[in-house]
Chains A and B, each alone.
Chain A
Amino acid sequence: MPEHEADGQLATPTHEVRDFLHRRREQIAQRWADEPLFRTVFTVSRDEAVEASKVVVDALAQVADSDQVEDPDAAGFSGVREQLARMGAARSRAGLSNTQVASELAALRPPVENLLAADLEEAPAEHLRACSTALTVLMGTLRLVAMQTALSEWQALSDRQRLQLMEVATPVIRLWDGVVAVPLIGTLDSARSQVVMETLLNAVVDQHARFAILDITGVPTVDSLVAQHLMKTVAAARLMGAQCIVSGIRPAIAQTIVHLGLDLDVITRASLSDALRYALHELGADIVNPGAGQR
């Protein structure tokens, strides 16, 4: 195995690092396998940790080969992103903070640097310095990639959870043949109103509902943004051939709506039962008081 390029000329520092990574792949992997980051994640056997380490070493060599040691988007990293994400997630589950994970990642650098220094003992000091700088930058980029991946995993998880929460918080109830209702509880932000709108309109199609009741008894405040969302839902339902009724407008909210100068061009009812009564009447099924006989 050639220590340096054949014609006696020194390789560029990044290519020197690449050759070094290829040459010392086994040793680096052996040392990393003992580091907490690999040891605690790959617990089946030590070989598993060594193999996982080798994958990362190979990725680093590929990045060095393409001269992109500073670029977290280098193609070479794409193959290890998933593994890094899994490792980061495993450490987070074990209760480590992001900072602790970051320092475990940083701990991967010294063993490699020591190996490089030992390898290039004979090389000119200038060259060794340049090579170890390249390696440091490369390891720094790896750390960045790992943190980025972990953060986006976490973000995706929290987005998923938020979406699930929104869906759980938006039950559409079939009140009668052709009448569905959704009781809204809590604050309506833009993302949530989107979910409400979609869920309600899909229920309108599934249940052939001519009436859709939006009950806002549980909505603490109605500002112009919330009103806008309500109006959009009403308009979309109408385009599909269904009628929306907004029920549960508390006196304070009625006042706000008037103060804001909002024109809620929609059928409103004070309570959910009034809204249902209206819908049933429109469907031709009037509710009569049995005791009163004929009206």
Chain B
Amino acid sequence: MSDAYSRPVTGHVPVLRLGDVLLVTLQGDLHDSTAQQLQQDLAETISRTGVRGVLIDISGVEIVDSFLGRVLAEIAAQAKLLAARTVVAGMRPAVAITLAELGLTLPGLSTALSTEAGMELLTQQTPAYRPDGPRQESP
């Protein structure tokens, strides 16, 4: 395809650990298999590290269709089974309007305006917050 298109994100999305929270930043146009890979990586990382929260920053995501919506909902559901809370932060207004119009309200998902607000939400409820700095998790 032509160079006018930005390269889609394929492979692994980096998962960062900030104390008791895993931070994932999604950006651009996500390949279906990348989203599914992320879901798997997160489940493994949560169970390995025993973190209490997952923060997914989607402020760089231009569209969320029912596929990505389902992946986000499933990430939250599986994290809950592993005793972690998931917060999706920074959804753009246009994306939120589209999802509401689509009829996808994702009721099981906690949301926050920004990563800061999301972090606050997660750390308030995880008193065992240990600020040991950001650390890259090799997925």
Please count the residue pairs between chain A and chain B whose beta carbons lie under 8 angstroms apart in the complex.
Answer: 61
Q: Which of A229-271 contact B (CB under 8 A)?
A: 232-233, 235-242
Q: State the CA gap A238–B109 with chains docked (Å).
A: 10
Q: State whether the Cβ of B53 lies closer than 8 Å to any Cβ in chain A.
A: no
Q: Which residues of chain A have C-beta atoms less than 8 A from B113's C-beta? A: 204-205, 208-210, 240-242
Does the CB pair A236–B99 fall under 8 Å? yes
Q: Which of A178-231 contact B (CB under 8 A)?
A: 197-198, 201-202, 204-205, 208-210
Q: State whether the Cβ of B106 lies closer than 8 Å to any Cβ in chain A.
A: yes
The residue in chain A whose Cβ has the minimal distance to the Cβ of B117 is A241
Does the CB pair B99–A241 fall under 8 Å? no
Q: Which residues of chain A have C-beta atoms less than 8 A from B117's C-beta? A: 208, 210, 241
- The size of the chain B interface, using a CB distance under 8 A, is 21
Q: A241-B117, A241-B118 are in contact. Are A236 and B93 (CB under 8 A)?
A: yes
Q: Which residues of chain A have C-beta atoms less than 8 A from B24's C-beta? A: none
Q: State the CA gap A198–B92 with chains docked (Å).
A: 11
Q: State the CA gap A238–B90 with chains docked (Å).
A: 11
Q: State the CA gap A240–B106 with chains docked (Å).
A: 11
Q: Which residues of chain A have C-beta atoms less than 8 A from B105's C-beta? A: 235, 238-239
Does the CB pair A241–B93 fall under 8 Å? no
The residue in chain A whose Cβ has the minimal distance to the Cβ of B93 is A201
Q: State the CA gap A236–B19 with chains docked (Å).
A: 30
Does the CB pair B112–A239 fall under 8 Å? no
The residue in chain B whose Cβ has the minimal distance to the Cβ of A238 is B111
Q: Which residues of chain A have C-beta atoms less than 8 A from B118's C-beta? A: 241
Q: Which residues of chain A have C-beta atoms less than 8 A from B114's C-beta? A: 208, 241
Q: State the CA gap A29–B63 with chains docked (Å).
A: 55
Q: State whether the Cβ of B96 lies closer than 8 Å to any Cβ in chain A.
A: yes
Q: State the CA gap A242–B92 with chains docked (Å).
A: 12
Q: State the CA gap A242–B114 with chains docked (Å).
A: 10
Does the CB pair B100–A240 fall under 8 Å? no
Q: Which of B29-45 contact A (CB under 8 A)?
A: none
Does the CB pair A239–B101 fall under 8 Å? no
Q: Which of B74-128 contact A (CB under 8 A)?
A: 88-93, 95-97, 99-101, 105-106, 109, 111-114, 117-118
Q: State the CA gap A146–B91 with chains docked (Å).
A: 46
Q: Which residues of chain B have C-beta atoms less than 8 A from A201's C-beta? A: 93, 96-97
Q: Which residues of chain A have C-beta atoms less than 8 A from B109's C-beta? A: 239
Contact pattern, A 86-124, Cβ under 8 Å of B = 1, otherwise 0 = 000000000000000000000000000000000000000
Instruction: Give 10 CB contacts A-B under 8 Å.
Output: A201-B97, A208-B117, A232-B97, A233-B100, A235-B96, A235-B100, A239-B88, A241-B88, A241-B113, A242-B113
Interface residues of B (CB under 8 A from A): 88-93, 95-97, 99-101, 105-106, 109, 111-114, 117-118
Interface residues of A (CB under 8 A from B): 197-198, 201-202, 204-205, 208-210, 232-233, 235-242
Given contacts A205-B92, A240-B91, A241-B90, 6 further A-B contacts (CB under 8 A): A205-B113, A232-B97, A232-B100, A236-B100, A239-B109, A241-B117
